[in-house]
């Protein structure tokens, strides 16, 4: 470890390049690992953010179209027959699963029929919500842990800087500046990964709750029709 730091110190005297790439290349294995983890988390978080944004935009539009057509339909059965075999709209899939159970229980009493349809609505709603909220946990985890991972890289980098001072017996800023820059780079990446993840998680969680309320409202009105 000391030999590695000593070799780094020897080459720092003429090293004035503080570009992000050079900061990464000069960092030791631990700091590099922290940087890679944070970059990967940030990239995957942004991929999820765009995916969820498109998902909520799409289902809000398709659900509004479904509800508009449903309440204008003459009967639930005729409307169900007009629906496509496959749909990506959650409420459409919930309605279709309820209609399948409704047809299967036509010979049953009204109370039994209502209870079974209600049960199917609950199960189908739960399945759809799980699909909508998939990967929410990852965003929450990145938002909660990324700053601490970056802080770990910062502490490690500062420790290396102090060891560089001890080995070189030189308190010149040129000796410690690269190590401190690497450390602060890790902190910046931690915040860069955490802030969008926290904002996105809060937004999508709120959007999900509103959509769940919309599903519950439809299910109650549908059951009242039955």
Candidate from 30-44, 170-184, 198-212 with smallest mean pLDDT: 170-184
Strands (E) in 112-224, as ranges, are: none
Residue 24 pLDDT: 67
pLDDT band with cut points at 50, 70 and 90 for residue 195: very high
pLDDT top residue among 110 and 6 = 110
Mean pLDDT value of segment 110-126: 90
How many Cα atoms within 13 Å fall on the side-chain side of residue 38?
Answer: 31
Q: What is the pTM of this model?
A: 0.78
| Phi, psi dihedral angles at 104 (to 5 degrees) | -65, -25
Does residue 167 lie in a domain region? yes
pLDDT band with cut points at 50, 70 and 90 for residue 216: very high
Does residue 19 lie in a domain region? no
Does residue 111 lie in a domain region? yes
Mean pLDDT value of segment 20-37: 77
pLDDT band with cut points at 50, 70 and 90 for residue 80: confident
Does residue 74 lie in a domain region? yes
Q: Is the pLDDT of residue 90 over 60?
A: yes
Residue 12 pLDDT: 43
Q: For 123-171, what is each residue's pLDDT tens digit?
A: 999 999 999 999 999 999 999 999 999 988 888 888 877 777 777 666 6
Does residue 209 lie in a domain region? no
Looking at every residue in the chain, the average pLDDT score rounds to 83
Mean pLDDT value of segment 40-50: 95
- Closest C-alpha to 173, from 181, 28, 3, 187: 181
| Phi, psi dihedral angles at 100 (to 5 degrees) | -60, -45
Rounded distance, CA 182 to CA 221, Å? 59
How many Cα atoms within 13 Å fall on the side-chain side of residue 108?
Answer: 13
First to last CA, the chain: 74
Candidate from 78-87, 92-101, 177-186 with smallest mean pLDDT: 177-186
Mean pLDDT value of segment 2-28: 55
For 220, residues 6+ apart whose C-beta sits below 8 A from its C-beta are: none
Q: Where are the alpha helices (DSSP H) in 73-135?
A: 76-82, 90-104, 110-132
Does residue 219 lie in a domain region? no
Rounded distance, CA 219 to CA 26, Å? 59
Does residue 72 lie in a domain region? yes
State how many domains the chain has.
1
Does residue 70 lie in a domain region? yes
Domain of residue 140 covers 2-7+27-200
Q: Which residue has the tokens 């560089």?
A: 164
| Phi, psi dihedral angles at 42 (to 5 degrees) | -65, -45
């Amino acid at each position: 470890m000391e030999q590695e730091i000593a070799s780094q110190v020897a080459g720092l005297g003429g090293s004035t390049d503080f570009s992000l790439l050079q900061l990464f290349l000069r960092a030791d294995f631990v700091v590099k690992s922290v940087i890679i983890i944070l970059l990967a988390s940030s990239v995957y978080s942004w991929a999820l953010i765009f995916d969820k944004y498109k998902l909520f935009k799409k289902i809000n539009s398709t659900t509004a179209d479904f509800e508009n057509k449903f309440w204008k339909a003459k009967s639930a059965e005729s409307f169900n027959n007009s629906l496509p075999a496959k749909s990506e709209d959650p409420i459409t899939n919930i309605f279709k699963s309820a209609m399948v159970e409704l047809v299967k229980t036509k010979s049953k009493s009204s109370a039994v029929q209502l209870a079974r349809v209600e049960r199917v609505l609950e199960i189908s709603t739960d399945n759809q919500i799980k699909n909508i909220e998939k990967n929410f946990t990852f965003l929450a985890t990145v938002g909660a842990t990324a700053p601490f991972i970056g802080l770990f890289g910062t502490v490690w980098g500062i420790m290396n800087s102090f060891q560089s001072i001890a080995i070189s017996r030189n308190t010149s800023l040129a000796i410690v500046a690269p190590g401190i820059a690497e450390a602060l780079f890790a902190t910046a990446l931690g915040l860069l990964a955490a802030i969008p993840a926290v904002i996105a998680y809060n937004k999508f969680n709120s959007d999900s709750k509103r959509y769940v309320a919309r599903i519950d409202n439809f299910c109650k009105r549908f059951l009242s029709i039955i």
